[in-house]
Amino acid sequence: MGFIGLGNMGGPMAHNLAAAGHTVVGFDTAGTTAEGVAVAETAQAACADADFVITMLPNGAILRAVADQALPAMKSGAVLIDCSTVDVDSARHVGAQAAEMGLGFVDAPVSGGVGGASGGTLTFMTGGSDAAFAAASPLFDIMGQKAVHCGEAGAGQAAKICNNMILGATMAVTCEAFALADKLGLDRQKMFDVVSTSSGYSWSMNAYCPAPGVGPQSPADNDYTPGFAAELMLKDLGLSQQAAKAVDADTPMGALARELYAEFVENEDGKGRDFSAMLPRFAARGRDS
């Protein structure tokens, strides 16, 4: 199989496939490699004779450009699995392009971060035909712990965008609540003990608590070194609002979450920090800051 995009996520994913016994040929424009993965000089070379080509790329424009190179180099009946998080229109465009060439396509954005990529515990949200999903499923079993077939091409991206809009908004309000608790004199551990077992519980609170020393280990306990970077959350929230505009959906909470993360990343110190670093941001601010 070919693997295009061997960055922080793609590299470990490609390594896990190679470690499971697959022959993997990789290509990355930055020249990065992965253990056990052969190196191709071009994207087209990585695709030659491959039964599957997997991509992990930064955005929809790059996906479209790579698809223009990769699809013509793929053999008939092969399947392109795009694990990038991109706009729904780009996923649907590449899916249609693949179908016209007699190729399978699955859009399969992931949840689980770099740790999930390394540990093979990712969750895949997928779109594509039943046949393409069935063909790709054994690879999802190697790279992850769960794959959900959400519908036709683009449905995986739609699910990822909706999921991360919820995540961005819930993390922001979780951080706000801790900052409010501080000012009310409420101990953070007591706050966690109540909320994590009450109606305010959420993944942001229970599994990824933004308060250092509270709850399970999280990036907050490592000075907010990213597990999921704030700038990636900003990207996903931007995709959610792009999609909402395209289908005339009213998403005021998602829009506000995007504005908050844009301010944090672009005008404050959020770039390069975990998205849960919103907590020290709010803790340092007053109501009229």
What one-character DSSP code corresponds to residue 26? E
CA dist 257 and 130 (Å) reads 35
* DSSP-based helix, strand, coil % in the chain, nearest 5: 50, 15, 35
Per-residue pLDDT tens digits of the chain, which is 289 residues long: 999 999 999 999 999 999 999 999 999 999 999 999 999 999 999 999 999 999 999 999 999 999 999 999 999 999 999 999 999 999 999 999 999 999 999 999 998 888 899 999 999 999 999 999 999 999 999 999 999 999 999 999 999 999 999 999 999 999 999 999 999 999 999 999 999 999 999 999 999 999 999 999 999 999 999 989 999 999 999 999 999 999 999 999 999 999 999 999 999 999 999 999 999 999 999 988 7
- As to burial, measured by CB atoms within 10 angstroms (0-12 exposed, 13-18 middle, 19+ buried), residue 268 is middle
Query: What pLDDT is attached to residue 115?
Result: 86
Beta strands in 99-156 (DSSP E): 104-107, 110-111, 122-128, 144-151
What one-character DSSP code corresponds to residue 73? G
Q: At what angle do helices 155-183 and 230-246 cross, to 10 degrees?
A: 120
* 39 and 27 Cβ atoms separated by less than 8 Å: yes
* 178 and 191 Cβ atoms separated by less than 8 Å: yes
CA dist 75 and 203 (Å) reads 42
Return the closest-CA partner of residue 107 out of 239, 254, 250, 232: 239
- As to burial, measured by CB atoms within 10 angstroms (0-12 exposed, 13-18 middle, 19+ buried), residue 256 is middle
Beta pairing, strands 79-82 & 104-107:
parallel
Just list the catalytic residues.
Answer: 160
Query: What pLDDT is attached to residue 289?
Result: 75
Q: Mind listing the domains of the chain with CATH numbers?
A: 2-152 (3.40.50.720), 159-284 (1.10.1040.10)
